[in-house]
Amino acid sequence: MKKLFYIAIFFISSVLIISCGAYSFTGGDTGKAKTLQIDFFRNNAPLVEPSLSQKFTQDLQDLFLRQTNLSLVNTSGDLRFEGEITDYRIAPMSATAQQTAAQNRLTITINVRYFNTFIEKDNFEKGFSFYHDYPANTQLVGGALETAYKEIIERITQDIFNASVAKW
């Protein structure tokens, strides 16, 4: 009886381990893809922030490398991302009694083209945008700029991940 109990426990635990191996806790399904190509995202916005292109491209690569088992390549990737930064805008959001801005909003828009060599119906070209609000009396430099970039880029890269491999 004891031997039968141990065999049942072994069988059940083996089935659980094997079935969980096929599930990705990040929600990303890369299918047969083994490689990932993320081209440099040029800044074509009317207002150009010099470090934004490099930071965005690097953060998008890091997100995919962390949340998938894909290998990053420079050419001929099974999954390929390309695009450009199309808008970088600072606009007043609310006014004070003296009719000056109380709060400003930085909005960044990225145009992304996604190509899946295995499932062509998943290919898309789409714009992704997000914003960061900050007090009007704050200069958007140094730590304030880094905080804004972190919030905006984190949201946009996650939205790109969800639209491409998580299919949300």
DSSP category for residue 117:
S
Full residue range of the structural domain in which residue 121 is found: 2-166
**pLDDT, position 28:** 66
Beta strand 124-135 with 42-43: parallel, antiparallel or unpaired?
A: unpaired
C-beta separation of 108 from 152 below 8 A = yes
C-beta separation of 153 from 55 below 8 A = yes
Specify the CATH number for the domain of residue 97: 3.30.160.150
Kindly state the helix (H) or strand (E) to which residue 24 belongs, with its residue range: none
CA dist., res. 157 & res. 64, Å (int): 9
pTM recorded for the entire structure: 0.80
Number of domains in the chain: 1
The model's confidence at residue 30, banded by pLDDT at 50, 70 and 90, is confident
CA dist., res. 93 & res. 95, Å (int): 7
Kindly state the helix (H) or strand (E) to which residue 8 belongs, with its residue range: helix 2-21
C-alpha to C-alpha distances, 25 to 9, 22, 69, 167, nearest whole angstrom = 25, 10, 12, 14
Tell me the mean pLDDT in the region 74-92: 96
C-beta separation of 70 from 64 below 8 A = yes
C-beta separation of 153 from 49 below 8 A = no
CA dist., res. 135 & res. 44, Å (int): 27
Tell me the mean pLDDT in the region 3-12: 65
**pLDDT, position 24:** 46
